Amino acid sequence: MEPRFNLYANDIAAKFNKRLVTAARVVDESTLPKATQELVKIRSSQINSCGMCLDMHTKDAAHSGETPVRLAMVAAWKESTVFTDPERAALALTEEGTRLADGGGISDDTWVQVRKHYDDDQIGALISLIATINAWNRLNVLAGMVGGEYTPGQW
């Protein structure tokens, strides 16, 4: 499969992508646990059907030591016992924040759980991460980018 549009060959899109990567560094450098960051990226990518991001983040997570069981269970995190309470709070926020168009918004229960498990800097990182991965998902889906060829650490 070939993408509809090459985001990396077009000057404007490439410049935008570069700036998005730079903006995301603040999250990478935060105290939000790396495993949680990957779970958030995976869940958002599943919801948004972004094959490229899903390929990248499942492989990066596995390369970093994430277990196959936990990777397989992200899509069914609500019906699983393999995630910690803080991870579940982050996944709930991710799901609700990614599904904004469905009209539900962020529930009070989810916000209470996020507040319980994360400090203000981690919450800022989590919100920024959810916004960023959703942007990447939309860029890649709109351009028709496909998954399957990513090598861990490639980007």
- Asked, for residue 2, whether it belongs to a domain, the answer is no
Instruction: Please name the residues in contact with 13: beta carbons below 8 A apart, sequence gap of 6 or more.
Output: 5, 7, 139, 143
Model confidence pLDDT, tens digit, residues 72-103: 999 999 999 999 999 999 999 999 999 999 98
35 pLDDT more than 90: yes
Considering the entire predicted model, what is its pTM? 0.96
Do residues 7 and 145 lie in contact, with contact meaning Cβ atoms separated by under 8 Å?
Answer: yes
- Asked, for residue 152, whether it belongs to a domain, the answer is no
- Asked, for residue 22, whether it belongs to a domain, the answer is yes
- Asked, for residue 83, whether it belongs to a domain, the answer is yes
- Asked, for residue 104, whether it belongs to a domain, the answer is yes
- Asked, for residue 155, whether it belongs to a domain, the answer is no
- Asked, for residue 129, whether it belongs to a domain, the answer is yes
Do residues 147 and 54 lie in contact, with contact meaning Cβ atoms separated by under 8 Å?
Answer: yes
User: What is the torsion angle, in degrees rounded to the nearest 10, for the CA atoms of residue 91, residue 96, residue 98 and residue 101?
Assistant: 170
- Asked, for residue 149, whether it belongs to a domain, the answer is no
Q: State the residue range of the domain holding 93.
A: 11-143
CA distances from 149 to 52, 92, 131, 140, 145 (A): 8, 29, 25, 14, 11
Structurally, the chain folds into a number of domains equal to 1
Distance of alpha carbon 111 from alpha carbon 73, whole angstroms: 23
Model confidence pLDDT, tens digit, residues 105-126: 999 999 999 999 999 999 999 9
Lowest mean pLDDT among 42-46, 63-67, 146-150: 146-150
Domain CATH code at residue 127: 1.20.1290.10
Q: Is 66 helix (H, G, I), strand (E, B) or coil?
A: coil
User: What is the torsion angle, in degrees rounded to the nearest 10, for the CA atoms of residue 64, residue 99, residue 23 and residue 5?
Assistant: 90
Over range 129-137, report the average pLDDT.
Answer: 98
Model confidence pLDDT, tens digit, residues 52-61: 999 999 999 9
Distance of alpha carbon 73 from alpha carbon 69, whole angstroms: 6
